[in-house]
């Protein structure tokens, strides 16, 4: 089956087996090294992508659902202003994530920045629960999530980098 979708701003066309999963396609075609398939059941969050503006586990997205979808991986996030805000907040709070958790946590933080004007603590906790991170305390990630949003507010108020 032929599919077309957008990956990190690039038009992608490929022939796939309808039973293939996005995570498998990204790995097999070397399109996203940041997508780590661990559980294959959508419970660990290590294969997180943003699909049509929402967080999704790539191991749970069948190829046939990719038609005309817009997918953003960590590799695409790195090219955005949101990535810089997230990096700054992590540095300010001393949060260091392992290579398996970092891409997924950063993608969730980017979704938080895009989808919530003023996220509540519950909004943040619910979103971050999609990644089963064992390398950092959930409270540390929560603190960074709140800091990222405050940095965003500063940027929009003309105080970026101050």
The pTM (predicted TM-score) of the whole model is 0.85
Q: What is the pLDDT of residue 3?
A: 93
Domain residue ranges in the chain: 2-75, 80-156
The predicted-structure confidence for 108-135, as pLDDT tens digits, reads as follows 889 888 865 677 778 787 777 777 777 6
CB–CB of 59/130 below 8 Å? no
CATH of 2-75, one of 3.30.70.100, 2.40.110.10, 3.10.20.30, 3.65.10.10: 3.10.20.30
CB–CB of 21/13 below 8 Å? no
Compute CA distances 85 → 7, 82, 151, whole Å. 22, 5, 7
The CATH number of the domain covering residues in 80-156 = 1.10.150
The predicted-structure confidence for 26-43, as pLDDT tens digits, reads as follows 988 888 888 878 777 776
Spatial distance between the Cα atoms of 99 and 1, rounded to a whole number of angstroms: 33
């Amino acid at each position: 089956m032929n599919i077309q979708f957008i990956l990190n701003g690039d038009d992608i066309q490929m022939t796939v087996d309808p039973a293939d999963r996005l995570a498998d396609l990204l790995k097999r075609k070397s399109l996203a090294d940041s997508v780590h398939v661990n559980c294959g059941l959508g419970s660990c969050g290590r294969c997180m992508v943003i699909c049509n503006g929402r967080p999704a586990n790539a191991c749970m997205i069948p190829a046939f659902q990719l038609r005309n979808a817009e997918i953003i991986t960590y590799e695409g996030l790195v090219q955005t202003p949101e990535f810089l805000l997230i990096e700054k907040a992590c540095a300010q709070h001393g949060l260091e994530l392992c290579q398996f958790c970092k891409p997924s946590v950063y993608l969730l933080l980017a979704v938080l920045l895009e989808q919530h004007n003023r996220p509540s603590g519950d909004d943040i906790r619910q979103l971050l629960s999609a990644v089963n991170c064992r390398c950092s305390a959930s409270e540390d990630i929560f603190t960074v999530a709140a800091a990222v949003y405050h940095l965003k507010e500063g940027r929009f108020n003309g105080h970026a980098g101050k």
